[in-house]
Structures are given as C-alpha cells and as structure tokens.
Amino acid sequence: MVVDGYESLKQDYMKFTSTEKIIVATFALACFALHFFVNLTGAYGFFRDELYYIACSDHLAWGYVDQPPFSLFLLKLSRLVFGDSLTAIRIIPALTHSLTIVLAAMIAKEMNGKALAIFIACLTIMMSIIHLGMSAIYSMNSIDILLWAFSFYLILRIINTQENKLWIWLGIVLGIGLLNKISVLFLGSGIFVGFLLMDRKWFATRWPYIAGLLAFIIFLPYIIWNLNHDLAHLEFIHNASAGKYSGRTRFDFIKEQLLYLNPLSAPIWFIGIAVLFLYKPLEKFRLLGWIFLTAFIILIINRTSKGEYLAPAYIILFAAAGVFLEQVFTKPALKWITYSYLLILFIGSIFLLPLVLPVLPVEEYIRYSEAIGNKPGSSENKELSELPQFYADMFGWKEKARDVA
C-alpha cells in the first residue's frame, strides 16, 4: 500500500512540465532557506511553547492536558536526529512549510491549473503571514497545516480518479491529523458535508466508513488517555474559553482572517471562495468550497475561536483563485494586471516579514513596528510592553534559568 501511494505521488509529479517543476522547487527551497537562515542567526530565542514541547518530548505519553501526542513524538525523533539547538528544533516547521507549498502546487494542478496557477498558489502560501508565523517555531500548528493540505489533495484525487483506495489514505491522514490537533474535527465535518451535498454516492459504498474507522482507530489512544484522566482535554478547552479567550468576539475572528493570511492576498482568497461556487469550470470541485464554508461556520458559531484555526483551509481558495485568474485573465491587458498585482504582493510581503519572522534586531523591530503603527497584540489578554506576545515570549528564559540556578 505504501508503494502504491509513492507511485501515485510520483505519477502526479510527472504531470508537471519542466517550467512548473522549476516554480515549485524555487518556492519550496526559498521557503526552507528563509526559515533556516533566520533560525541559524539565533532569531530572538526559543518561544515559550517550544520549551514546553521539549519538556513534554522528554516525558512521552499518549496524551497531555492541552494536546494530543503526535507532534511531541515527532519532536523527540527530530531531537534524536538533529539535536537540541534552536536551528535543529525548528527544522521540522521549516520543512512542513516547504512541503505545504509543494502540496499547494499539486492541488492547483489537480484543479487543472498550469504554470501561473501554480505560481499563485505557491506565492500566496509562502507569503501568508500565519503560515510564516506558524512555521517560525516548533508547534503542532505547522504540522496541522500540512496535514490539512494533504487531505485536500487526496480529496481532489478522489474527485478526479474515483479510486476507492484513496479513502484509505485519507482516513490515515485524518487520523494522524487528529492525533496531532483535534481541530481536524472541523475538517472532518466539512468533508462529511461536502460529500453529502456534492458527491453523496460515496455514502452508498463502504469506503468513507473505512476512512472514518481508520481515523478513529489512530485517534483512539488519545481518547483512551482522556477517559483515564477525567477528560482533562475537555476541561482544558472549557477553562481556556472561559478564561484567557473570554474577551474574544466573532468580529475578532473575522478581522483576523484579513490580517493573518496577509492583507495583500485578501483579494485572491475572496476570488477563491467565489469561484468555487460560481465559476462553471470549477463546479466539479465545489465540494472543497463546502468544506471551507462548514469549517468557517463552526468556528464563527464558537465565539472564542482564534483566526488561526481556519488558516489551513485557505490553501484551496488560493489554488482555486490561481486557476480562475489563469483561465480568465488571458488577454494581454488582464495578464499585465495579474502580474503587476503579484509583484506588489511579493514586494509588499517582504516588508511585512518582520511582523512574523525575527529578521530584525529587537531595537530595530520596535522602531519598525512603531513606524507602521503596529501596536503590540495578544490573543490571551496579556499585558504587553513594546513587543507583541509572539516575540515577547522569546525573551527572558536564559535569565530565568540563570536566576533559578
């Protein structure tokens, strides 16, 4: 089965033209190099959660109060291979961001995209603020984004090929996703609604149920751990919603969609959600639009949802928009508008990099932040000084360890 999966991926890769392969390789390698060299220079230091993850990986278990165990098992393996330096700890998130770019290209290709569509999908994922930020540190989140992307790719393959065995792969990926972060339940709900509305014939077969069973079996160790620990994770979620996230509103969630995905790329994902429902050549893939919409509705109903929870779903909107722009904006004047906009997106995004990657010395970052009017922010009701919580939580740990010692 593993051999079959590898051969399938290999065949899909061979569909790419030499130009398309160069586009994908350039973006993926540039993305990895960006993360690697930022971390190699020391960045600002370990993020507070990274120290917690390292401690958890020294005490492996089938569950933890605040998260499932997959990312911690992966971190333990990574530490055994690469070591415990800042650069080594962050190799996995750098790789996951690069692989997400590759999957974005494969998703665009499955939606009948060519070079321009692939370029747009790769560029928007690489320059997404939330994707850059989530991949700047080690956490479950960059892995979560990659597994959502792999799930979307498999769903597209199911739509295009109608191959039964792809459901087995989808079940495995969803199961690993749940064992990494339970927000994959939002994705699973969207998949159910999408196939129910657009391709319900599958429910007359055994394959969706096999996929669901596989996902459940893989996730089962964490369920058992919770049952043996008084449903600790549910208590954690309840306390977080009632405590540090209690001040959040639905407007915060919507506003963060515009900010976190990169404000400059908002027109692209606006186009993406529209064309999945309205553009005739993409009607075959409307199921993906329902997946996005279902996850969005679930998160907006929950008043305390953070904007980052929906970030993994945007890859399908970027790919769909890329295909639309490639197929419709064919006249020279329209192509010029598209290319000009993409250039503005790329250059503008470079100026936004310091917001999520520690590429500036801290004193220069503070001046930069003040110059653009960016006030320090926190999603957890924290009192802040000159740095946003994301950066503030990278300082003081060496001093604290020294003082305790």
pLDDT above 80 (res 4): no
Mean pLDDT score of the chain = 91
CA gap 131, 265 in Å, rounded: 13
374-401 in b/e form (b: 16+ CB < 10 A) is eebeebeeeeeeebbbbbbbbeeeeeee
Percentage of the chain lying above the pLDDT 90 cut? 72
Query: At 3, is the pLDDT very low, low, confident or very high (cuts 50, 70, 90)?
Result: low
290 in Cβ contact with 197 (< 8 Å): yes
Note whether residue 102 is domain-resident. yes
pLDDT above 70 (res 5): no
Q: Residues 345-384: pLDDT tens digits?
A: 999 999 999 988 999 888 898 888 888 877 665 555 555 5
Query: At 182, is the pLDDT very low, low, confident or very high (cuts 50, 70, 90)?
Result: very high
CA gap 395, 393 in Å, rounded: 6
pLDDT of residue 402: 86
50-71 in b/e form (b: 16+ CB < 10 A) is bebbbebbeeeebbbeebbbbb
Note whether residue 8 is domain-resident. yes
Between these two residues, 187 and 366, which has the higher pLDDT value?
A: 187
387: left (phi over 0), alpha (psi -120 to 50) or beta: beta
Note whether residue 31 is domain-resident. yes
Q: Residues 193-220: pLDDT tens digits?
A: 999 999 999 999 999 999 999 999 999 9
Q: Among the listed ranges 83-87, 175-179, 233-237, 241-245, which one has the minimum average pLDDT value?
A: 241-245
Note whether residue 384 is domain-resident. no
Q: Residues 95-136: pLDDT tens digits?
A: 999 999 999 999 999 999 999 999 999 999 999 999 999 999
Q: Among the listed ranges 4-18, 71-85, 141-155, 359-373, which one has the minimum average pLDDT value?
A: 4-18
Q: Residues 319-328: pLDDT tens digits?
A: 999 999 999 9
pLDDT of residue 67: 94
pLDDT of residue 23: 96
Note whether residue 172 is domain-resident. yes
Q: Residues 372-383: pLDDT tens digits?
A: 877 665 555 555
pLDDT of residue 144: 97
Q: Residues 271-320: pLDDT tens digits?
A: 999 999 999 999 999 999 999 999 999 999 988 888 889 999 999 999 99
Number of domains in the chain: 1
pTM score of the predicted model: 0.93
Note whether residue 43 is domain-resident. yes
pLDDT of residue 366: 87
pLDDT above 90 (res 36): yes
pLDDT of residue 6: 59
Note whether residue 371 is domain-resident. no
Cα Rg of the chain (Å, integer): 21
Backbone angles phi, psi at 64, to 5 degrees: -140, 160
Query: Residue 106 is part of which domain span?
Result: 2-359
Note whether residue 211 is domain-resident. yes
